[in-house]
Amino acid sequence: MRDDVERTPDDLRAVLTLGFEDLPRLSSYQFILTTGSGSSHHVAHYASLLFTHELNIATVSHPGRLAAWADGADLAIVVSMSGGKDSHSIARALGCEILAVTCEENSPLADLADYLLLLPVEREEGFLNTRTIVSAMFALCAYASELSGEDLVDPDVPDRVERRLERGVPEDVILEMRDREKVFFIGDKYLYVAAEQAALKSIEVGDVNAFATTSDELFHGRFFGDHSERLYLCLNEKGADLIEERSGGEATVVRPEDLGLDVDPEDPNAPVETLPVLYLLVDEAYGPVDTTEARSWWNHV
């Protein structure tokens, strides 16, 4: 996984060269569905947050086959790195126009779509999509920036990601992750998407009890209990402050600065900056994993 992650900065620089002239103006649609499976669903979730908060367009995300739930959507934004999932067929059956977000130009999804956002990223060979997922988020942010007429994309993100990857991840946090029965990734707004991805990758790589939550949701059922078996990795300060206050100092909390992060959860670039570091952290704690040895049931995630 590390080899793929370390290629992320160059992929992000390639994303900055994308043009969006042939893509739809989303303001012409009343209701948009974003969908994908596995890691691609987290990209779809990010897109729904992005278009809702930055463009004020009614957008909802839903995973995979359950896209049929959103009958009545005018446009389906279907995310699939392989282009081989069947969400596009369901969306087409519902009468949606389709915008495909994929790495595969010659795929069933790309062939069927009305619009294509082709990522300038070579598809990863294994079952652990990392840099492709980050690049898809960055491309969608650039697309929203083009539509809004505002500078939503920070062109310095690739350089900051590169510097963070060169610094690596702290050994003490890696050891804490290995020693704990449960690991919680906590992030708010855009950083919640990064938390979702980090938890999923922890499960895929290490088969561990990993969870994603927001600062507020944490205190509705998961916070109480034996803190000695848990590690709380907070991607923004709010979660860290709440946990330390309410646990009386009993909980082990990793703050953003412990990971070399200082990212605003309100910034749409936040998951793009954060995820490469989290991927390295997961790889060091639970890997390494040879991503070229893909399990057959992950081939089209």
Distance of CA 134 to the CA centre of its chain: 6
Tens digit of pLDDT for each residue in 224-280?
A: 777 888 999 999 999 999 888 888 888 899 999 999 999 999 999 999 999 999 999
Tens digit of pLDDT for each residue in 76-132?
A: 899 999 887 665 666 667 678 999 999 999 998 898 899 999 999 998 877 789 999
Q: CA–CA separation, 248 vs 275, rounded Å?
A: 30
Any idea which of 43-52, 63-72, 188-197, 282-291 has the lowest mean pLDDT? 63-72
* Lookup result for tokens 């010659």: 106
Q: CA–CA separation, 84 vs 62, rounded Å?
A: 17
Task: Answer whether 0.95 is exceeded by the pTM.
Answer: no
Higher per-residue confidence, 15 vs 297: 15
Q: What angle do CA 231, 236, 242 make, to 5 degrees?
A: 65
pLDDT score at 300: 39
Tens digit of pLDDT for each residue in 146-188?
A: 999 999 999 999 999 999 999 999 999 999 999 999 999 999 9
The domains of the chain, with CATH numbers, are 2-148 (3.40.50.10490), 168-286 (3.40.50.10490)
